[in-house]
Structure 1
Amino acid sequence: MLTLSFVTGTEPGKWFARFRERTSHGELRTLDSDDPLTELIDARVSLALVRLPDVRLEAEGEAFHMVTLYDEAPGIALPKDSELTLLDSLTQEDISGEILNYSGAEVAKVREGLQVVAANVGVLIAPRPLIKVLSRKQIEHRDYRGPGVSPTSIALVWRKDDDNEAIQDFVGIAKGRTANSSRQATPKRSAREKTLAKQQRRGQQPAKKKAPTRGGRRGRR
């Protein structure tokens, strides 16, 4: 069984579905967490989807494997009725004079700061995917271009001592490896199942077995 904890603000559901469909590693247990790296360090999970940078990985990096998957765009949270929502992207100049409730990527602080924005007070700067997941109906979010938030990225991290085929297959799926890759332990199929799958790809109807003819073959005259 593979146990994975993923940081709030990510939506890895499609990877979970592909892992279950394409591999035969057994159960995949997943946990949404504000701090999946702590769960990995404490050996409560075998794989973690984390937000970088994280000083703990800089200090203990030798003990872990890490694969960076993608960068996150910075965003800004605004009260729904703010005139700034008329803009598709904001800069530091656009928000001059606004109260900045928080700027950063710490999930608990972003959640707390968004409550203030929802009360129609000030703005908040954080990774836009994180704002999107945590936002309420009273909040709008836009791209933010300028200082105030450090660049962030999402990565898969696991302990070197725990490296195994299941982890490698999940990492491959997250990186976009296709179902035809030899790295993935796909369930074995019978010859009949392979034939049916091939016919479905070609849009053909499954071949029906021919009924035996009565009286057998006719002899030559």
Structure 2
Amino acid sequence: MLRLSFATGTEPGKWFTRFRDRTAHGRLLTTDSEDPLAELLDARADLALARLPDPRVTGDYHVVELYRESPGIALPKDSELTLLDRVSSADIEGEIVNWRTPADGLIDIPAVREGLQVVAANVGVVIAPRPLIRVLSRKQIEHRDFVGDVPATHIALVWRKTDDSGGIQDFVGIAKGRTPNSSRQVAPKRSAREKALAKQERRAGAAGVEKRARKTRRR
């Protein structure tokens, strides 16, 4: 069994499906967490899909960066700023900023959530990773890309070097785009019945092709 904790604001469902369908590592137990690294540090998870930077990630861990998150801004639904595709620092001069990504890049999800509640009440803005804003926003909130002096955040897979395993390596490969035909991936074993059904399907497909070919020749 592989235990994976993933950060709020990420949507790794397609990777979970591919891991279950393509590999034979047993059960995949997943948890949506505001702090997946805490679960990794406490050994409640084998692998974390985490938001970086984070000073708790030391040389004892493997880190595979997957993608960079776009900075975003949350706006009241009726704000004139929603007319813009991208909002800059100059555009929000005079606005109340309920929360913004700090200089160290650390994202305080409870604080972001609290700030969004104020935005939903038609007061001020929140600047944070846009994928996180998208997940946490209510109907009264719109979000846009933010162009300004905001530290970048990244989503990465993190795990203890001492816990490296085939299951972890296969999940990392899938998240990085490894195809089902990769020789590095452990394919799921099929029962004799599954193999027989697959053989029947191949024969039926071949027969169908031949039948259509005969019809074409008669025309």
The TM tier, using the shorter chain, reads: 0.7 to 0.9
> Are 2:199 and 1:195 aligned?
yes
Give 3-state SS (helix, strand or coil) of 2:56's partner: helix
Aligned to 1:92: 89
Please list, as runs of the form range in 1=range in 2, the aligned pairs for 1:131-142 lying within 5 A after superposition: 131-142=133-144
Distance 1:7 1:21 in 2: 23
Residue 21 of structure 2 aligns with an amino acid whose one-letter code is E
Deviation at 1:176, TM superposition (A): 0.4
Distance 1:195 1:162 in 2: 39
Deviation at 1:56, TM superposition (A): 1.3
Unaligned runs of at least 5 residues, structure 1? 208-221
Aligned to 1:213: none
Distance 1:107 1:203 in 2: 55
Distance 2:202 2:90 in 1: 59
Unaligned runs of at least 5 residues, structure 2? 102-106, 211-219
Deviation at 1:195, TM superposition (A): 3.5
Aligned to 2:119: 117
Q: Which 4+ residue blocks in structure 1 deviate beyond 4 angstroms?
A: 196-200, 202-207
Higher Cα radius of gyration:
1
- Asked if the contact 1:36–1:50 (Cα under 8 Å) also holds between the matched residues in 2, the reply is yes
Residue 28 of structure 1 aligns with an amino acid whose one-letter code is L
Aligned to 1:152: 153
Please list, as runs of the form range in 1=range in 2, the aligned pairs for 1:1-221 lying within 5 A after superposition: 1-57=1-57, 61-104=58-101, 105-147=107-149, 149-189=150-190, 192-193=196-197, 195-196=199-200, 205=208
Sort the Cα spacing of 1:198 and 1:70 in 2 relative to 1 into closer, same or farther, 3 A.
farther
Deviation at 1:108, TM superposition (A): 1.1
Sort the Cα spacing of 1:186 and 1:196 in 2 relative to 1 into closer, same or farther, 3 A.
farther
Alignment RMSD: 2.0
Sort the Cα spacing of 1:199 and 1:68 in 2 relative to 1 into closer, same or farther, 3 A.
farther
Distance 2:140 2:109 in 1: 19
Residue 138 of structure 2 aligns with an amino acid whose one-letter code is R
- Asked if the contact 1:116–1:122 (Cα under 8 Å) also holds between the matched residues in 2, the reply is yes
- Asked if the contact 1:78–1:117 (Cα under 8 Å) also holds between the matched residues in 2, the reply is yes
User: How many residue pairs were aligned?
Assistant: 202
Deviation at 1:192, TM superposition (A): 3.4
Residue 168 of structure 1 aligns with an amino acid whose one-letter code is Q
